[in-house]
Amino acid sequence: MVVNSNANIVVVDDEKYICSIIVEALASDNYNINHFTDPIAAQEHIEKNSVDLVLTDLVMGDHSGVDVIERTMACHRDAVVILMTAHPTVQTAISVLKKGAYDFLVKPFKLDLLKATIRRGLEHQSVLRDNVHLKGQVEFLKVASASVAGVNIDKFLDLTVKSCKKEMAAQAVGVLEVDPRTRDVIRTAHEADADEYVEEVLDESTLLNFSYTRSNRPNIQRSQITDDGETVTRIFLSQPIFASRKLHGVFNILIISPFDEITSGQLNVLSILSNSAASAITNHRLYQDLELSYLQAIKGLANAIEARDPYTAGHTDRVSHLARKIAQALEWDDARVSDLMMGCTLHDIGKIGVPDRILNKAGTLTGDERRMMNSHPQVGLKIISGIDLFRPAVPYIIAHHEWFNGDGYPEGISGEGIPIEGRLLAVADTFDAILSDRPYRRGAGLGVAVSELIKYRGAQFDPLIVDTFIEILRQGKIDLEEMYGREEDLSVIDGLLNAKTVSA
Ligand SMILES: [Fe+2]
């Protein structure tokens, strides 16, 4: 067991000779000892200095050792306090242990017992500190390894600044991610006790510290400031994030503390943090490149399907646009909207398995042809199965032809049993199909499309999605002229809604 042989120890006893005996008894060790006969002076010292262990008397004139315990625990959460008392009672023992004291010694005590108790206390502290440190490491490593699987990078950075602030006992932590080629800031995250610190920890000029170095060592600046009449140390650390010898960002940490030191444990935390961030950022970038390549390949396939049927050209893009408007009205977050865009691009990918003669048939489909056509959601699912990256597209592919009343395909599920992604896409998909030109007819007008949505509201379509979409149309939030090349009169919507109210 490695204990802190240079531990900062404070001895408090109003009997001067007891202080002297203890200091003498510990003289052969390397401890850094301060002793006080005045408990108030002792508390002032404890407030302003780094302290590992406190040895205090319980009754000191008008003062109680309990105040010393409380002050110590408030200033140094992992300090060890050992109480000395000549009049032990069970009640006293319970109450001081509850306050956070580690142990107590009954006066008079043998000096060997004193030394053994101090050593045991420091061993206990060492285990505790290692545990805290390991816990921090495990937390960071967990997050870092999760990032390999494509964990959202914004969430990752949020989590790391929170952990860092806690582990470093900092007032504020900020992280800046930069493009390694241009040094442009592409992402930031921060956590601060006060707004005034935010600008400082997100200051882009902190990146300049690492313009001409590849060293992973942090830049540390210290200054003395007065806070509420007290002189405290203000420490500003900038920890670079390097990956493949390129600067990918910086962590900025502001610590305002009565102590002028950064512990090796804190520097370790910082080093782990920057390594985790470096791998998370690099992985994220690789993952994005991979996602983009896959999406381009799949977009190529989707375009190939559209090319087989010139009348559906642009369908995927228009459906994506309409679906995104609905999702935004439903206040979906950016990540969900991004999944939606993928889902819309891929939703009809299964049509690749439907022969041209069926896909482009102008007349009514036979039973077999209909079955083949209606198999496209399952075929689509097969095409993307095994590609983890496309898992978010699954509900769009499989459920966009389900009906709210259960009359749809392929599963015939109903109501909220249908994933909301499928219910949303069904509305956008149908609306675009009605307005688009087909081999056998010209595209219908807005009135026809909205009538259909109203007519099948609650049957084919989720009422909530229909109402949301009609409201978006009514407010003119969709540029129909640009999408379909013809002007539409939006007042037709109010007319239809009024007619529905009257007939109801
Ligand atoms: Fe479809």
Q: What is the CATH number of the domain that holds 49?
A: 3.40.50.2300
- The CATH number assigned to the domain holding 475 equals 1.10.3210.10
Whole-number Å distance, alpha carbon 165 to ligand 1 midpoint, is 49
User: How far does the centroid of ligand 1 lie from the alpha carbon of residue 419, in Å?
Assistant: 15
Q: Are residues 121 and 158 in the same domain?
A: no
The answer to whether residue 291 sits within a structural domain is no
Residue 295, in any domain of the structure: no
Q: How many domains does the chain have?
A: 3
Maximum C-alpha span of the chain: 109
Q: 143-152, 411-420, 485-494: lowest mean pLDDT where? A: 143-152
Q: Give the mean model confidence (pLDDT) for residues 261-265.
A: 71
Select from 129, 159, 181 the last residue of a domain: 129
Kindly report, residue by residue over 429-454, the tens digit of the pLDDT.
999 999 987 766 778 889 999 999 99
Same domain, 122 and 193: no
Residue pair 204/185 in contact (Cβ under 8 Å)? The answer is: yes
169 and 81: one domain? no
* Residues 102 and 168 grouped into a single domain: no
Residue 94 sits in the same domain as residue 196? no
Q: Are residues 278 and 195 in the same domain?
A: yes
Same domain for 410 and 329: yes
User: In the predicted model, is pLDDT for residue 419 greater than 70?
Assistant: yes
Q: Is 328 exposed, middle or buried (0-12, 13-18, 19+ CB in 10 A)?
A: middle
What's the 282 CA to ligand 1 centre distance in angstroms?
A: 37
- Using CA of residue 303, residue 305, residue 306, residue 307, what is the dihedral sign? positive
**What does R_g of the chain's alpha carbons equal in angstroms?**
34
Is there a domain that residue 176 lies in? Answer: yes
Residue 440 pLDDT? 64
Pseudo-torsion of CA 175, 177, 178, 184, nearest 10°? -70
Non-local (6+) Cβ contacts of 192 within 8 A are 171, 172, 173, 174, 198, 201, 254
Q: Are residues 466 and 347 in the same domain?
A: yes
CA neighbor of 14 nearest in space, from 71, 57, 70: 57
For residue 487, the 8-state DSSP code is -
Mean pLDDT (whole number) for 330-348: 92
> Residue 352 has what pLDDT?
83
Which of 129, 164, 189 is the C-terminal boundary of a domain? 129
Range of the domain at 103: 8-129
CB 254 within 8 A of CB 201: yes
Q: 347 CA distance to ligand 1 centroid (A)?
A: 6
Q: Quick check: pTM over 0.75?
A: no
Give the model's pLDDT for residue 135.
Answer: 67
66 and 37 belong to one structural domain = yes
Check residue 137 and give its pLDDT.
62
Q: What is the pLDDT of residue 260?
A: 66
- Is 2 part of a structural domain of the chain? no
At 134 the pLDDT is: 67
Residue 68 confidence (pLDDT) = 94
In a domain, 303, yes or no: no
**Distance from the CA of 434 to the center of ligand 1, in angstroms?**
14
Within a domain: residue 453? yes
**Which pLDDT tens digit goes with each residue over 352-406?**
888 888 887 878 899 999 999 999 999 999 988 877 778 999 999 999 999 999 9
* CATH number of 251's domain: 3.30.450.40
